[in-house]
């Protein structure tokens, strides 16, 4: 019984003690609440500041990183543009160089062709010079011969030819042979002017000319075989009386003064030598 009472008392005291303790703690807690609230607020503010600072740093880092990326992209773009531009310039330069090389090759080909043409022209000019020199030498010889012939007694110059008149009389054949020995032929008259020249020079004498029909009767030709185109026959001539096959100039003083006679008759004669300049 006493134990029970004692136990109850002990339980009551313990309960009171716990209650008192709890009361004290509650009071303590109540007393400590403002300070704890301040500390909690400070901690919250610090935490908020730390979080805000962290956000700022993160944002700044992100901005910096983005700027770095932008700058890197800009640098890459500029580098790519420069590389593309340089590539285009190199390609253009290559094309220009190729074009210039082609032009140089074409120019070289043309120069080579021109050089060959010049060599050919030089060869042609050298040959022409040799031919000209030969012609000059021949012309000098002819001029010398012309001077010699003109200065030879009995020869006279007229219209690019020289003429010789004999002082003796011979037959037509012997007269023709004498002209050949002088490097000439019996005179061949090709114009009115030449007929007049011969008429003046023969001084009224009957003169053998280089016309005959000895090869074929009625077909009159010059001694060089050419046909007679300018004819100065007297009226009724040639009449071929008694086999008259050779021509004489001077039957009378008129322009038409040719007539045919026997070839064995003797007259003076005129030789003619053409000067080929």
Domains of the chain by residue range? 156-274
User: How much is the pLDDT for 81?
Assistant: 86
Buried b vs exposed e over 65-101: b needs ≥16 C-beta within 10 Å?
A: eeeeeeeeeeeeeeeeeeeeeeeeeeeeeeeeeeeee
Sign of CA dihedral 89, 95, 97, 99: negative
Closest Cα to residue 271, out of 196, 182, 206? 182
Length of the chain: 277
CA distance 208 to 198: 11
How big is the CA angle at 145 (ends 180 and 178), to the nearest 5 degrees? Answer: 15
> pTM for the complete prediction?
0.51
CA distance 168 to 176: 13
pLDDT in tens, the chain (277 residues): 444 444 444 455 555 545 554 554 554 454 445 555 555 565 555 555 556 666 777 788 888 888 888 888 888 989 888 888 888 888 888 888 888 888 888 888 888 898 888 889 989 999 888 888 888 888 777 777 667 766 777 788 888 889 999 989 999 999 999 999 998 999 999 999 999 999 888 888 899 999 999 988 889 999 999 999 888 999 888 888 778 999 999 877 788 999 999 999 999 999 999 876 5
CA distance 203 to 199: 7
* 156-274 topology per CATH: Mannose-Binding Protein A; Chain A (3.10.100)
Closest Cα to residue 160, out of 172, 151, 173, 150? 150
- Please write down the long-range contacts of 112-117, taking CB distance under 8 Å and 24 or more positions apart: none
Which H or E run contains 210?
Answer: strand 207-212
Closest Cα to residue 166, out of 268, 254, 20? 268
How big is the CA angle at 116 (ends 115 and 120), to the nearest 5 degrees? Answer: 115
């Amino acid at each position: 019984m006493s134990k029970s009472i004692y136990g109850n008392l002990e339980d009551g005291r313990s309960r009171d003690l716990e209650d008192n303790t709890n009361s004290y703690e509650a009071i303590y807690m109540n007393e400590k609440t403002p300070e704890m609230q301040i500390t909690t607020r400070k901690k919250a503010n610090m935490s908020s500041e730390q979080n805000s600072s962290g956000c700022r740093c993160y944002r700044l880092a992100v901005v910096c990183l983005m700027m770095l990326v932008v700058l890197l992209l800009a640098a890459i773009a500029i580098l790519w543009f420069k590389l593309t531009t340089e590539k285009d310039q190199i390609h253009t330069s290559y094309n220009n160089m190729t074009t210039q090389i082609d032009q140089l090759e074409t120019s070289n080909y043309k120069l080579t062709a021109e050089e060959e043409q010049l060599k050919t022209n030089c060869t042609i000019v050298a040959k022409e010079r040799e031919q000209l020199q030969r012609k000059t030498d021949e012309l000098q010889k002819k001029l010398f011969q012309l001077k010699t012939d003109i200065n030879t007694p009995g020869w006279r110059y007229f219209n690019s030819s020289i003429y010789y008149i004999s002082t003796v009389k011979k037959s037509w054949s012997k007269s023709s042979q004498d002209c050949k020995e002088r490097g000439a032929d019996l005179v061949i008259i090709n114009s009115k002017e030449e007929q007049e020249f011969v008429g003046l020079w023969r001084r009224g004498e009957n003169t053998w000319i280089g016309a005959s029909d000895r090869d074929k009767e009625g077909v009159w030709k010059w001694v060089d075989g050419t046909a007679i185109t300018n004819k100065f026959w007297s009226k009724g001539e040639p009449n071929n009386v008694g086999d008259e096959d050779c021509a004489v100039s001077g039957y009378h003083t008129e322009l038409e003064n040719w007539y045919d006679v026997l070839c064995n008759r003797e007259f003076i004669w005129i030789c003619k030598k053409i000067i080929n300049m």
